[in-house]
Amino acid sequence: MTLRGSAVALALLIAAAVQMPSMGAEQAAQPKPTVLTLEQALAIALENNPGLSIAKDQVGAARGRLGQAKARALPQVTGAGTWTQQGPVTSFTIPGPPGQPPETITLGQSRTRSAVLTLTQPLDLAGQIRAAKRMASLGLTSAAYGVDRTANDLALSVYNAYYGVLRARDSVTVAQQAVDASQEHLRIAEAQFRAGTAPQFDVLRASVQLENDRQTLVQAQNAQQLALANLVNILGLDPTTAIDVAPVVQMPSPQPTAPAQQATPAAPATPPPSPAAQEVPSYNEALQEAYANRPEVRQAQTAVQTAQAALAAAKATGRPDVAIVGNYVYTPDASGFVAVQHSWNISANLSIPVFTSGLVHARIREAQANLKAAQDALTQAQQGVGLDVRSAILNIHNAEERRRTAAANVTQAAEALRIARVRFESGVSTLVEVTDAEVALTQARTNQVNAEYDYLVAQANLKKATGALLSSVRAALGVDAK
């Protein structure tokens, strides 16, 4: 066999080896995945995520603490009973009337029973109960904001994971287009080599390029499977669940410019974003919206109010307080000279802290320090939200500009490839020029895919940063901050 024949055989073997894995994958029986929309994925995550369930449970606990605080201000009735058996019982005898036997008088009873009902009504003159109710109410509000905060973070994770699957899938399409083009180049190079119009180098170059593109395709397919696994994990589904995602309306895949002999059809060209999607608020507008809606800020504001109520409660411990107490006593076994079975009393109990060894002042200092810490935490939360908003707006502008230039670059790269192919088929240039043009087009398509999904991710980040993303999920939470 000649050297030229060996090169052709080597190229054919490489091409066959490249095609075999894909054929085996097609023949393998795979379960049909469930296709989810973004809204369905979000609903599943809100239903299954354990972190969100924990936040909801904390709301229930906070609601119970509020009920306890309210009950302290209402009348409290307690019952108590005693049963006493004693002996011996003291007695003495006195002479009876003339002609009558003496009379025995017993002092006390061997069995004594009594029942007591006590009614207590605190007047809360010091304000301790009112402060406790205020703190419990704010605690419930904070817990509800905690649900919103968890849901806001979870929704962004779902958006990112969902777009990650779409990004990976479009990257597979781009990689497949590159493989199809390389296969076509190899076919042309082999034909020209057999006809004696192209050197052996062109066949080897086309074979190497095909193998490189095939490796890129395998990596893209693996990245797609990893993206799907990540989405399954975020949704809280069983790891063996087979799912797929539906494309979003405003994100079609890039327009194909590969050869006609494609094994995988490409999607239509990506249009520019809709006018509504292009409307990016100013930083000040977005920041004010974030301050009003972000659960982190609202929760920090609630923490400041809670610390203020705690300070009021600490001060109240140093003031006098009054409680009204009423008792009703029933003693069925009453005995003696003045036996009373039913009795009652009402009293007003006044407590005045006279000397507490500095306990009240220490409580006040602690509450003041906690209030200062809560105010600092609010400032920190506002600064963090401000950074989130600014980063999201900058990323949107950056991605929007990149998607415009990427679309134009794909058009130019496709035209450059067309010219390179014409020159190659006319014998004016070598296959190296065509291969370089194909690599440039693949890179341009990859950049376009990344720019498009970076734009969608930036939009989701801005919605999360301003709290607007909560409007998409609050109806499914069942808990709203009041």
Dump pLDDT digits (tens) for 395-419. Answer: 999 999 998 899 889 999 999 988 9
Whether residue 258 is predicted with pLDDT greater than 60 in this model: the reply is no
Q: pLDDT band for 26, please (50, 70, 90 cuts).
A: very low
Tell me whether strands 34-36 and 243-245 are parallel, antiparallel or unpaired. Answer: parallel
Q: Is residue 98 part of a domain?
A: no
| Pair 270, 254: CB distance under 8 Å | yes
215 lies in a domain? yes
Global pTM value: 0.73
User: What is the chain's length?
Assistant: 482
What CATH number is given to the structural domain containing 136?
Answer: 1.20.1600.10
Residue 28 located in a structural domain: no
pLDDT of the residue at 308: 95
* Structural domain contains residue 369: yes
Q: Considering the domain boundaries, does residue 90 fall inside one?
A: no
For the chain, the C-alpha Rg in angstroms (whole number) is: 41
pLDDT given for residue 464 in this prediction = 92
Q: How far is CA 97 from the centre of its chain?
A: 94
What is the predicted pLDDT for the residue at 250? Answer: 52
Q: Which residue has the higher pLDDT, 160 or 100?
A: 160
Instruction: Write down the pLDDT at residue 475.
Output: 63
Q: What is the pLDDT of residue 23?
A: 41
**Residue 224 pLDDT > 80:** yes
- Amino acid identity of 451? A
Cβ(274)–Cβ(250) under 8 Å? Answer: yes
What is the arithmetic mean of pLDDT over 113-128? 91
Please check whether residue 92 lies inside any domain of the structure.
no
Cα dihedral: 256, 260, 264, 267 (round 10): 30
Instruction: Report, as an integer, the average pLDDT of 244-253.
Output: 68
pLDDT tier, 194 (very low <50, low <70, confident <90, very high otherwise): confident
Amino acid, single-letter form, for residue 339? A
Banded pLDDT at 288 (limits 50, 70, 90): very high
How many independent structural domains does the chain possess? 1
Mean per-residue pLDDT over the chain, rounded: 82
Residue-level pLDDT at 249: 61
pLDDT score, position 22: 44
Q: Is residue 469 situated within a structural domain?
A: yes
| Per-residue confidence band for 14, with pLDDT thresholds at 50, 70 and 90 | very low
Tens-place pLDDT, residues 320-374: 999 999 999 998 877 665 578 889 999 999 999 988 889 999 999 999 999 999 9
Domain membership flag for residue 102: no
Q: Which residue has the higher pLDDT, 300 or 186?
A: 300
Cβ atoms of 7 and 204 closer than 8 Å: yes
Which structural domain, as residue segments, surrounds residue 261? Answer: 41-83+108-477
